[in-house]
Amino acid sequence: MPVIDIAKFDIERLTGLKFEEVAKLLEHVKCEVEEADGERVKVEVTHDRPDHFSAEGLARTLKGVAGVETGLPVIKLGPSPIKLVAGHIEERPYISMAVVRGVRLDDEAVRQLIQLQEKIHETYGRGRRRIAIGYYDVSKIKPPIYYRRISQDDEYTPLGFDKPIKVRDMYQLTEQGRRYSPLIHIERPPALVDSAGQIMVVIPVLGSECCKITERTTDVLIDVTGTDPRAVVNALSILIYALLERSGPRQVELVEGGTGYSHEYVKIETDERAVGDLLGVELSRADFLRYVKMARFDYVDGHVVVPPYRINVLSWVDVAEEVAVMIGYNQLPREAPRVMAAGRRHRVEVATQELRKSLLSMGFTEVNNYVLTDDSVGDFCRPARVANPISELYTTVRCSLVPQLVATAAAVKRREVKLFEVGEVVREGRTVRALALLISREGATLTDGLSAIKALCHRLGWSCKFKPLEAAWALPSRAAEVVGDVAGYVAEVNPDILTKLRHTTPTVAAELFIHMQS
């Protein structure tokens, strides 16, 4: 979970509440105070709320819960006199900009904005590969602004420097240059350049001292560039609304050019009765409207209106979750199951325990991985993809345990590895319990896998037979289908697949599926 650092005085100033009240409300909205050291506090927030990655977003939410400010946050939109002329940049083709006027910044405010920028970079932005963010003082820029390539022999003054250096030297002299320059065309990097010829930023590497925001800045230009247009717009929405918490006039100007930015409220048809049924509570229309407004939403003609910075709200079920948060999870009723029967262990759980015992006795080591995984699982099966992944590490629901086992074996870095995992996978729209085992060592062959499956079936009293099988991820003629009391497969993993998973040792893997039926 992301942990953010905030100052007590700043969150008090933003919310109008004493910190003792703030601390109680943080737990109410699924945030937890990790550490309180004098005047500063570290707060753990959830991955699905990138708008909470700074004090401004937390303050906006807490004001709603406390009733200080409810409903949709106020925003005044208009066109900007600043124009953007965007060239085509293959590696980062999308760019959007906006200006927030009348902001009041001090040292802590600048610190929070930078924290928000970096937290989004590392999580939602996938280490700047997906999106990159920049802030600029409008008073220091001469428009129009050009998004174009520059030369690595061009000079500018990177953030933290007191004199100009060549872009090629910036790559070597700064941590950001060493870390992020591989993401772009190094010889002709993309940049923002104003009409005076100032290089405002080398994207997505490092900004310039020429137009950085300071405590004296009153008008802030935000740019977001990236490889995904939706991600660019989502990030810009979060940044705009964060700055609005520090803006008196709450005025936002949309910059013309590039991908552009469309400020759109999401309308989700929602029935308060369905929400009440889902949560197990009696929910009147008045109570429902109150909770919706506490969540900083609105309700119009049967639809909940969601502001654009709430990128995690996709359906009425998400609205129901927000209502539950506003009510307080501890306030929801508890009921004993209406089933008059003695409990017993499900047969799948019995089989799972026996599988674990058997494999441990056979010298295998158990591992436990997440149900969500990355795109590498697509080499083994057809996974279900997450509509709004919070990280490139968790983009799919796993349909096989094998890729994660191979990745674990690669991380272990031993000459011989024997691993297994028992857990859920989703195959053809059904959730099934799966067992996967892996043997990785020099000279490992299909025979090793067949022997392990035969021994396992014998220990459990299962009838297991093998049939020839061809799989795209396996070596040709080195795979077998398992049939009988349990279904599955065993195969030698193709070296090309192993290389993609950063593993170089010959590996044989097997997977058995235990359908979750009574």
Q: Is residue 229 part of a domain?
A: yes
Same domain, 28 and 115: no
415 shares its domain with 438: yes
At residue 350's C-alpha, the angle toward residues 349 and 352, to 5°, is 60
Radius of gyration of the chain (CA): 27
Q: Are 191 and 46 part of one and the same domain?
A: no
Q: Are residues 501 and 384 in the same domain?
A: yes
Residue 323 Cα distances to 56, 237, 292, angstroms: 22, 23, 6
Domain region containing 7: 3-66
Q: Strands 199-202, 266-269: parallel, antiparallel or unpaired by DSSP?
A: unpaired
Question: For residue 473, which amino acid is it?
Answer: W
pTM score: 0.76
What's 18's domain CATH number? 3.30.56.10
317 and 432: one domain? Answer: no
C-alpha distances (whole Å) from 9 to each of 67, 157, 167, 217 are: 20, 34, 40, 21
Total of domains in the chain: 4
Q: Are residues 26 and 149 in the same domain?
A: no
- Residue 490 in any domain: the answer is yes
Examine the fold and report which residue of 235, 256, 277 is the final residue of a domain before the chain moves on. Answer: 256
What was the pLDDT predicted at 516?
43
Domain boundary pick from 66, 93, 108? 66
Q: Are residues 285 and 386 in the same domain?
A: no
Same domain, 125 and 150: yes
In a domain, 338, yes or no: no
For position 113, which CATH number holds?
3.50.40.10
Q: What is the pLDDT of residue 518?
A: 37
Residues 486 and 383 both lie in one domain: yes
The token pair at 110 is 């600048």
Nearest to 493 by CA among 394, 426, 417, 393: 417
> And the tokens for 261?
């930015």
90 in the same domain as 50: no
Q: Over its length of 518 residues, how does the chain's per-residue pLDDT go in tens digits? A: 889 999 999 999 999 999 999 999 998 898 988 888 889 999 999 989 999 999 999 999 999 999 999 999 999 999 999 999 999 999 999 999 999 999 999 999 999 999 999 999 998 898 999 999 999 999 999 999 999 999 999 999 999 999 999 999 999 999 999 999 999 999 999 999 999 999 999 999 999 999 999 999 999 999 999 999 999 999 999 999 999 999 999 999 999 999 989 999 999 999 999 999 999 999 999 999 999 999 999 999 999 999 999 999 999 999 999 999 999 988 888 877 677 777 788 888 888 899 999 999 999 999 999 999 888 888 888 888 888 777 777 889 999 999 999 989 988 878 899 999 999 999 888 899 999 999 999 999 999 999 999 999 999 999 999 999 988 889 999 999 999 988 999 999 999 988 888 888 999 999 999 864 43
* 418 in any annotated domain: yes
Whether 106 and 124 map to the same domain: the answer is yes
In a domain, 342, yes or no: no
In a domain? residue 337 = no
Residues 36, 139 within the same domain: no
pLDDT in the model for residue 122: 92
Please name the amino acid found at residue 271. D
Start-end of H helices in 254-294: 272-279, 285-294
Which of the listed residues 44, 66, 88 is the one where a domain comes to its end?
66
CA angle 170, 99, 89 (to 5 degrees): 45
Establish if 262 belongs to a structural domain: no
Asked if residue 378 is part of any domain, the answer here is yes
Question: Is residue 171 packed enough to be buried (19+ CB in 10 Å), middle (13-18) or exposed (0-12)?
Answer: buried
